[in-house]
């Protein structure tokens, strides 16, 4: 990621909107089209809210960090990092057997469905890497492979 930007927010859900606004403004400036920016808006909201809730569940006062910018191959990447215990996300195939009448728990499913590539990395906390293909002048600058439709989200 060349010259990434970083946004650090307190573990308070009131800052989800700020994170969404800042990241989406940077994505538009980088050339992400309107439709993909809307997808990014939802994915960033879900990932940031999940990170903040992980901190609240453990009583952590540490901030949530979002690092974002254009990476090689013409993709806009966002990494949302927290210091929570992390989790092992369900395999994308598990969604088929989901009880859709139960509310909540759709964040990972939404993120996988909206981003071109998603990677969950457990370490000292959890990192969620989201990648969106940047389209300039009606042309994609990298091959778009939608997660869940041929892409293979990775968990490490």
Q: Pick from 103, 110, 68: which is nearest to 89 by CA?
A: 110
Q: Is the separation of the CB atoms in 64 and 7 below 8 Å?
A: no
For 153, the token pair is 């989200």
- In tens digits, the chain (156 residues) has pLDDT values of 557 899 999 999 999 999 999 999 999 999 999 999 999 999 999 999 999 999 998 999 999 999 999 988 789 999 999 998 776 665 655 556 655 444 456 788 889 899 999 998 888 888 999 999 876 545 554 444 433 333 333 333
- H or E stretch covering 28: helix 16-30
Tokens 């969604």 sit on residue: 95
Can you give the pLDDT at residue 151?
37
In order of start, what are the domains of the chain with their CATH numbers? Answer: 5-155 (3.30.565.10)
Question: Dihedrals φ, ψ of 16, to 5°?
Answer: -60, -45
Per-residue pLDDT, 154: 34
For position 153, what pLDDT does the model report? 33
Residues 6+ apart with CB under 8 A from 17: none
Spatial distance between the Cα atoms of 131 and 69, rounded to a whole number of angstroms? 10
Residue 147 DSSP one-character state: B
Q: What is the pLDDT of residue 123?
A: 83
**Beta strand spans in the chain (E):** 5-9, 64-71, 75-82, 117-123, 125-133, 135-136, 139-140, 154-155
Round to whole Å and give the CA distance between 133 and 135: 6
pLDDT at 72: 81
Q: Is 0.85 surpassed by the pTM of this model?
A: no
Residue 140's contacts (CB-CB under 8 Å, 6 or more residues apart) are 74, 133, 134
């Amino acid at each position: 990621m060349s010259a990434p930007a970083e946004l650090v927010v307190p573990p308070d859900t009131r800052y989800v909107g700020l994170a969404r606004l800042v990241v989406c403004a940077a994505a538009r400036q980088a050339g992400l089209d309107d439709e993909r920016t809307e997808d990014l808006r939802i994915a960033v909201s879900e990932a940031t809210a999940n990170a903040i809730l992980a901190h609240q569940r453990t009583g952590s006062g540490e901030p949530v960090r979002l690092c974002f910018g254009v990476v090689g191959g013409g993709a806009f990447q966002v990494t949302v990092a927290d210091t929570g215990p992390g989790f092992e996300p369900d395999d994308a195939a598990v969604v088929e057997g989901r009880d859709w009448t139960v509310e909540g728990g759709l964040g990972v499913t939404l993120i996988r469905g909206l981003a071109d590539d998603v990677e969950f990395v457990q370490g000292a906390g959890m990192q969620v890497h989201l990648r969106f293909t940047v389209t300039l002048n009606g042309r994609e600058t990298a091959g778009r492979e939608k997660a869940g439709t041929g892409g293979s989200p990775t968990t490490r």
